[in-house]
Protein backbone atom coordinates (compact mmCIF):
# COMPACT_ATOMS: atom_id res chain seq x y z
CA UNK A 1 0.00 0.00 0.00
CA UNK A 2 1.05 3.59 -0.57
CA UNK A 3 2.61 5.41 2.41
CA UNK A 4 0.86 8.57 3.56
CA UNK A 5 2.61 11.60 5.08
CA UNK A 6 1.02 13.09 8.18
CA UNK A 7 1.75 16.21 10.21
CA UNK A 8 0.58 16.72 13.75
CA UNK A 9 -1.85 19.65 13.92
CA UNK A 10 -1.60 20.00 17.68
CA UNK A 11 2.20 20.02 18.04
CA UNK A 12 3.87 21.89 15.18
CA UNK A 13 7.37 21.11 16.48
CA UNK A 14 6.81 17.38 16.16
CA UNK A 15 8.73 15.76 13.28
CA UNK A 16 6.79 14.73 10.21
CA UNK A 17 5.75 11.12 10.44
CA UNK A 18 4.96 8.62 7.74
CA UNK A 19 1.97 6.29 7.90
CA UNK A 20 2.62 2.87 6.35
CA UNK A 21 -0.30 0.50 5.89
CA UNK A 22 0.00 -3.28 5.79
CA UNK A 23 -2.17 -6.34 6.29
CA UNK A 24 -1.62 -9.36 8.55
CA UNK A 25 -1.39 -12.51 6.44
CA UNK A 26 -1.49 -16.13 7.53
CA UNK A 27 2.30 -16.37 7.18
CA UNK A 28 2.66 -13.61 9.81
CA UNK A 29 0.75 -15.49 12.52
CA UNK A 30 1.31 -18.32 14.94
CA UNK A 31 -1.00 -21.29 15.59
CA UNK A 32 -3.43 -19.04 17.51
CA UNK A 33 -3.89 -16.59 14.64
CA UNK A 34 -1.97 -13.75 16.26
CA UNK A 35 1.14 -12.12 14.82
CA UNK A 36 4.28 -13.98 15.87
CA UNK A 37 6.38 -11.53 17.90
CA UNK A 38 9.42 -11.52 15.58
CA UNK A 39 7.28 -10.61 12.56
CA UNK A 40 6.59 -7.16 13.97
CA UNK A 41 10.24 -6.41 13.13
CA UNK A 42 9.39 -6.94 9.44
CA UNK A 43 6.52 -4.46 9.59
CA UNK A 44 8.77 -1.92 11.34
CA UNK A 45 11.59 -2.43 8.82
CA UNK A 46 9.30 -1.96 5.84
CA UNK A 47 7.91 1.25 7.33
CA UNK A 48 11.42 2.64 8.00
CA UNK A 49 12.44 1.86 4.42
CA UNK A 50 9.37 3.67 3.07
CA UNK A 51 10.08 6.62 5.39
CA UNK A 52 13.62 7.06 4.03
CA UNK A 53 12.50 6.60 0.43
CA UNK A 54 9.61 9.07 0.77
CA UNK A 55 11.58 11.73 2.67
CA UNK A 56 15.09 11.42 1.20
CA UNK A 57 16.21 8.82 -1.33
CA UNK A 58 15.97 5.10 -1.92
CA UNK A 59 17.72 2.80 0.52
CA UNK A 60 19.23 1.06 -2.51
CA UNK A 61 20.83 4.35 -3.58
CA UNK A 62 22.40 4.81 -0.13
CA UNK A 63 23.58 1.20 -0.33
CA UNK A 64 25.15 1.81 -3.76
CA UNK A 65 26.89 4.91 -2.34
CA UNK A 66 28.50 2.92 0.46
CA UNK A 67 26.02 3.52 3.30
CA UNK A 68 24.68 0.33 4.84
CA UNK A 69 22.21 0.99 7.65
CA UNK A 70 22.28 -1.50 10.50
CA UNK A 71 20.06 -1.88 13.52
CA UNK A 72 22.14 -1.17 16.61
CA UNK A 73 19.37 -1.44 19.20
CA UNK A 74 15.64 -2.21 19.30
CA UNK A 75 13.26 -1.60 22.19
CA UNK A 76 9.73 -2.94 21.69
CA UNK A 77 6.75 -2.86 24.00
CA UNK A 78 3.97 -5.30 23.10
CA UNK A 79 0.67 -3.73 24.18
CA UNK A 80 -1.86 -5.95 22.37
CA UNK A 81 -1.74 -8.58 19.62
CA UNK A 82 -2.49 -8.04 15.96
CA UNK A 83 -4.56 -10.83 14.44
CA UNK A 84 -4.98 -12.60 11.13
CA UNK A 85 -6.66 -10.30 8.62
CA UNK A 86 -6.05 -7.07 10.56
CA UNK A 87 -5.14 -3.96 8.58
CA UNK A 88 -2.31 -2.20 10.39
CA UNK A 89 -0.83 1.27 10.32
CA UNK A 90 2.82 1.80 11.24
CA UNK A 91 3.61 5.40 12.25
CA UNK A 92 7.29 6.24 11.79
CA UNK A 93 9.37 9.33 12.53
CA UNK A 94 12.96 10.19 13.36
CA UNK A 95 13.17 11.30 16.96
CA UNK A 96 16.83 12.32 16.98
CA UNK A 97 20.18 11.96 15.28
CA UNK A 98 23.76 12.17 16.42
CA UNK A 99 26.95 12.04 14.43
CA UNK A 100 26.75 8.23 14.27
CA UNK A 101 23.17 7.28 15.20
CA UNK A 102 19.59 7.69 14.03
CA UNK A 103 16.85 7.10 16.61
CA UNK A 104 13.52 6.16 15.04
CA UNK A 105 10.18 5.97 16.87
CA UNK A 106 7.47 3.67 15.57
CA UNK A 107 3.93 2.80 16.64
CA UNK A 108 1.74 0.05 15.22
CA UNK A 109 -2.05 0.32 15.49
CA UNK A 110 -5.02 -1.28 13.78
CA UNK A 111 -6.39 0.83 10.96
CA UNK A 112 -9.17 3.03 12.31
CA UNK A 113 -7.96 2.67 15.92
CA UNK A 114 -5.07 5.17 16.14
CA UNK A 115 -5.13 5.51 19.93
CA UNK A 116 -5.01 1.78 20.70
CA UNK A 117 -1.32 0.92 20.40
CA UNK A 118 -0.38 -2.65 19.53
CA UNK A 119 3.37 -2.01 19.47
CA UNK A 120 5.60 0.90 20.41
CA UNK A 121 9.23 0.72 19.33
CA UNK A 122 12.43 2.71 19.46
CA UNK A 123 15.01 1.63 16.88
CA UNK A 124 18.57 2.95 16.83
CA UNK A 125 20.40 2.70 13.52
CA UNK A 126 24.04 3.19 12.55
CA UNK A 127 25.68 3.44 9.14
CA UNK A 128 28.63 1.31 8.12
CA UNK A 129 30.73 1.00 4.99
CA UNK A 130 30.67 -2.18 2.87
CA UNK A 131 33.78 -3.19 4.83
CA UNK A 132 31.89 -2.87 8.10
CA UNK A 133 33.51 0.35 9.30
CA UNK A 134 31.33 2.84 11.19
CA UNK A 135 30.42 5.91 9.10
CA UNK A 136 28.93 9.26 9.99
CA UNK A 137 25.21 9.55 9.34
CA UNK A 138 24.55 11.42 6.06
CA UNK A 139 23.85 15.07 6.78
CA UNK A 140 20.35 15.10 5.27
CA UNK A 141 19.10 12.81 8.07
CA UNK A 142 19.76 15.53 10.64
CA UNK A 143 17.12 17.79 9.08
CA UNK A 144 14.39 15.18 9.57
Catalytic entry in 28, 30, 86, 116: 30
In a 10 Å sphere around its CB, with 0-12 CB exposed, 13-18 middle and 19+ buried, how is residue 48 labelled? buried
20 touches 89 (CB < 8 A): yes
98 touches 141 (CB < 8 A): no
Of 55, 56, 62, 43, the closest CA to residue 111 belongs to: 43
- 86 carries an active-site annotation: no
Q: How far apart are CA 128 and CA 89, in angstroms?
A: 30
Residues annotated as catalytic (active site), given as ranges: 30
Amino acid sequence: MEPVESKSATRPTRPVELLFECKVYYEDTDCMGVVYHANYLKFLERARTEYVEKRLSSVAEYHNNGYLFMVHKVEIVFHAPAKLGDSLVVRTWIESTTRFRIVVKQIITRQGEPRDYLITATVTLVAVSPEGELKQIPSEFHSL
